[in-house]
């Protein structure tokens, strides 16, 4: 661990902030309070909407830089974090499992924590970290060697450090933790290594496990240190012992809907990707070959870890369409409680908020090839000829038949979070238009080794754009407008009551669009591609906006022809904070 402490500043902060502690009430109210940001998603339902309207469509052109902070020159790569702001301090996680505390008035570093990462970590998709959680006097974040670390938020000293899983078996952790009723809730990463997805709940004060819930059927959950219930029914949808290495990683973390007292997590791809191998000897009629609960959204009781409901977006998944994308709880224009999720498979789903049952789905990207639609029950209507072929059926060698599938395995939408605007009632979804050549190969599980059974090459499908930020009416699925971008979009979106949509591009532009028309109203070049998540807050009567800039993530590592198309983009690592000066707030 390396800590760079500015002793006098930290000492002063410790005195002036002695009574300031983040409570469960602060966390529950984060979506409506404007002086801080204490949750990932700017609220537990992940709407990423701010009620602030000081900064609006008329004056956003007056937004100016307040300060910038460098994450250092040695450890760059993708910077996918969302900042947190509380009691005069901003907390930033960085690549390679680093944490920074920054004075929000000056941009001056207060302390830095660097995790001691061992040799042999196995991160799938860059050495990213997507953020932290705050509770009491602690700031809590996960590390690439699958550990969860609680730090004193004023000094950076370690309070507790716990193992989530064994990194040597392929586990890692990149998501922001979730705090619910005195528990810190985490998922896990590693779906490409034949791990088993799981949600864990720990006592936030001690880090000790309270319950665990695996996301692949046949695996046993625990409660208070004892076996509780099995996930699903053994071998109902998995053949033989394949459930023991079944994937379903919960790598994006989850949301919490207080209205229904439900944790909602996504479970990722089943392992291996080769659906023929996973279902060898298993009938596919009904749900026998669905490989539950991979590629699913799962509602969980936060007190016990019991599964309340599930919805599987891609049963018998064979394209790495995953199922982990965030689920956003919201109230529609008629006052109905709803859940929305934009899946990697290219469809935008609306579920009932109470029990997760399927209501409707519409495509949000073009030229989807693997399915012709979604039926009334929520199951895909497969185009089986677009499923990669089984290796045993290959005409020559061991490679199965190659198909060109849309979207690519990086998805119509990947991890990058969308936003719901309470002002317009629309969702603003960062998406990508691309396809892939994909084929299946033989594979055998070996601990700590990649367990795919597939090969692939991603390709653009349009000449003029890959990225497309889309305003979607959730009541109809209609795309109200879309903003095209040459490079893929890979960062988060934020909306505000001022009628603004903030997001960043891999070309380095941080942009504000009109939420009703998609018109660009303001743009700032940050110097490196943006794959982070913007926030806004109010300080001393002025509205501030922050985003972290730093190109990386899965696209340059896995993007095939697309990666070659954007190989000119520069890496970096900067925190950019902007303000609307009081004297310019009324100026159009």
Asked whether 242 and 274 are in contact (CB, 8 A), the reply is no
Asked whether residue 532 is domain-assigned, the answer is: yes
- Looking at the DSSP assignment, which residues form a beta bridge with residue 483? 469
Number of residues that make up the chain: 588
Residues marked as binding for Ca(2+)?
192, 269, 320
Asked whether 269 and 317 are in contact (CB, 8 A), the reply is yes
Q: What is the pLDDT of residue 555?
A: 93
d(CA 564, CA 556): 8
d(CA 149, CA 141): 6
Asked whether residue 2 is domain-assigned, the answer is: no
**Which residues neighbour 282 within 8 Å (Cβ) at sequence distance 6 or greater?**
237, 238, 239, 288, 289
DSSP-derived letter for residue 30 is T
Asked whether residue 78 is domain-assigned, the answer is: yes
Asked whether residue 580 is domain-assigned, the answer is: yes
Q: Distance of CA 562 to CAs 58, 458, 462, Å?
A: 37, 6, 11
Neighbouring CB atoms inside 10 A of 364's CB total: 24
**Closest to 248 in 3D by CA, of 314, 200, 283, 296:** 296
Residues marked as binding?
80, 130, 174, 192, 269, 320, 414-415
Range of the domain at 162: 7-584
Asked whether residue 1 is domain-assigned, the answer is: no
**Three-state DSSP class for 39?**
coil
Asked whether residue 484 is domain-assigned, the answer is: yes
Asked whether 313 and 297 are in contact (CB, 8 A), the reply is yes
The total number of structural domains that make up the chain: 1
Asked whether residue 367 is domain-assigned, the answer is: yes
Phi, psi dihedral angles at 380 (to 5 degrees) = -65, 150
Give the residue numbers annotated as catalytic, written as ranges. 320
Sign of the dihedral defined by the CA atoms of residues 550, 553, 557, 559, in that order: negative
Residues marked as binding for pyrroloquinoline quinone?
80, 130, 174, 414-415
The pairing of strands 49-50 and 494-496 is: parallel
Sign of the dihedral defined by the CA atoms of residues 341, 255, 329, 219, in that order: positive
Q: What is the pLDDT of residues 434-451, one digit of tens each?
A: 999 999 999 999 999 999
Q: What is the pLDDT of residue 213?
A: 98
Low-confidence ranges of the chain (pLDDT < 50): 1-17, 394
SS3 string, 561-579, reads HHHHHCCCCCCCCEEEEEE
Q: Distance of CA 517 to CAs 216, 469, 588, Å?
A: 43, 12, 18
Asked whether residue 426 is domain-assigned, the answer is: yes
Residue 407 is part of a domain; what is its CATH number? 2.140.10.10
Q: What is the pLDDT of residue 287?
A: 79
d(CA 355, CA 196): 25
For 553, half-sphere exposure in the C-beta direction (CA atoms, 13 angstrom radius) is 26
d(CA 186, CA 171): 13
Q: What is the pLDDT of residues 324-368, one digit of tens each?
A: 999 999 999 999 999 999 999 999 999 999 999 999 999 999 999
Q: What is the pLDDT of residue 77?
A: 87
d(CA 491, CA 530): 6
């Amino acid at each position: 661990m390396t800590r760079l402490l500015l002793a006098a500043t930290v000492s002063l902060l410790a005195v002036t902030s002695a009574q300031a502690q983040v409570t469960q009430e602060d966390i529950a109210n984060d979506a409506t309070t404007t002086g801080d940001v204490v949750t990932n998603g700017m609220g537990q339902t992940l709407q990423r909407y701010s009620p602030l309207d000081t900064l609006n469509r008329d004056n956003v052109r007056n937004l100016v830089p307040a300060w910038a902070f460098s994450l250092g020159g040695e450890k760059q790569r993708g910077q996918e974090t969302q900042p947190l702001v509380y009691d005069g301090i901003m907390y930033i996680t960085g690549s390679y499992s680093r944490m920074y505390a920054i004075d929000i008035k000056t941009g001056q570093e207060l302390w830095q924590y660097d995790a001691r990462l061992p040799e042999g970590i196995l991160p799938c998709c860059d050495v990213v970290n997507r953020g932290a959680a705050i509770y009491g006097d602690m700031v809590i974040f996960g590390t690439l060697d699958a550990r969860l670390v609680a730090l004193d938020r004023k000094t950076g000293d370690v309070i507790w450090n716990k193992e989530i899983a064994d990194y040597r078996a392929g586990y890692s952790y990149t998501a922001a933790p979730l705090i619910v009723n005195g528990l810190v809730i985490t998922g896990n990463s590693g779906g490409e290594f034949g791990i088993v997805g799981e949600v864990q709940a720990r006592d936030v004060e001690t880090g000790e496990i309270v319950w665990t819930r695996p996301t692949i059927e046949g695996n046993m959950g625990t409660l208070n240190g004892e076996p509780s219930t099995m996930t699903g029914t053994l071998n109902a949808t998995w053949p033989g012992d394949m459930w023991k290495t079944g994937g379903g990683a919960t790598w994006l973390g989850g949301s919490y809907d207080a209205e229904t007292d439900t944790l909602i997590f996504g479970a990722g791809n089943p392992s291996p990707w080769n659906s023929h191998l996973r279902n060898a000897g298993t009938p596919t009629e009904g749900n026998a070959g669905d490989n539950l609960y991979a590629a699913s959204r799962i509602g969980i009781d936060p007190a016990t870890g019991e599964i309340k409901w599930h919805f599987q977006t891609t049963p018998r998944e064979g394209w790495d369409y995953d199922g982990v994308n965030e689920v956003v709880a919201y109230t529609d224009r008629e006052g109905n409680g709803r859940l929305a999720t934009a899946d990697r498979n290219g469809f935008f789903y609306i579920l009932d908020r109470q029990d997760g049952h399927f209501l409707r789905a519409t495509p949000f990207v073009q030229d989807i090839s693997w399915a012709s639609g979604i039926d009334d029950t929520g199951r895909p209507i497969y185009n089986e000829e677009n499923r990669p072929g089984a290796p045993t059926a290959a005409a020559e060698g061991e490679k199965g038949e190659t198909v060109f599938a849309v979207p690519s395995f990086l998805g119509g939408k990947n991890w990058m979070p969308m936003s719901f605007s309470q002002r317009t009632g629309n969702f603003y979804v960062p998406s990508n238009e691309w396809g892939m050549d994909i084929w299946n190969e033989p594979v055998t599980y070996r601990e700590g080794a990649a367990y795919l059974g597939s090969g692939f090459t991603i390709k653009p499908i349009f000449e003029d754009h890959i990225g497309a930020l889309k305003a979607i009416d959730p009541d109809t699925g209609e795309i109200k407008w879309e903003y095209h971008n040459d490079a893929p979009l890979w960062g988060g979106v934020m909306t505000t009551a001022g009628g603004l949509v903030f997001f960043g591009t891999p070309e380095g532009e941080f942009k504000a669009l009109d939420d009703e028309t998609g018109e660009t109203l303001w743009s700032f070049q940050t110097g490196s591609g943006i794959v982070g998540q913007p926030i806004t807050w109010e300080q001393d009567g002025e509205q501030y906006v922050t985003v972290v800039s730093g190109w990386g993530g899965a696209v340059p590592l896995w993007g095939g022809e697309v990666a070659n198309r954007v190989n000119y983009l520069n890496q970096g690592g900067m925190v950019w904070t902007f303000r609307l000066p009081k004297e310019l707030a009324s100026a159009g």
